[in-house]
Amino acid sequence: MSQTQDRTSEGQRPATANANSLTLLINPASATAEAYRSLRASVKFAGVKPSVRSVLIADAGSKGQHTSVAANLAAALALGGDTTILIDADLRQPALHQQFGVANQSGLSDWLATGDPAAPIPLVPSAIDGLSLLTAGTASGNRGFGAAQVDYLSSDHFVDLLQRLADTDEYLVFDAPSLADVGDALTIAARVDAVVLLVRSGRTKRAAAQKAKASLDRVGARLLGAVLTDSGGGLRLW
What domains are defined for the chain?
31-237 (3.40.50.300)
Which pLDDT score, from 0 to 100, does residue 17 have?
A: 52
Per-residue pLDDT tens digits for 78-90: 999 999 999 999 9
Query: Is 83 strand, coil or helix?
Result: coil
Q: For residues 227 and 200, is the Cβ–Cβ distance under 8 A? A: no
Amino acid at 72: N
**Residue 18 in 3-state DSSP?**
coil
* Interstrand relation of 171-175 and 194-200 (parallel, antiparallel or unpaired): unpaired
Per-residue confidence (pLDDT) for residue 10, from 0 to 100: 41
Query: What is the reported pTM?
Result: 0.88
Tell me: the pLDDT tens digits for 140-160?
654 445 555 668 888 889 999
Higher pLDDT, 4 or 75: 75
**CA–CA dist 47, 22 (Å, integer):** 28
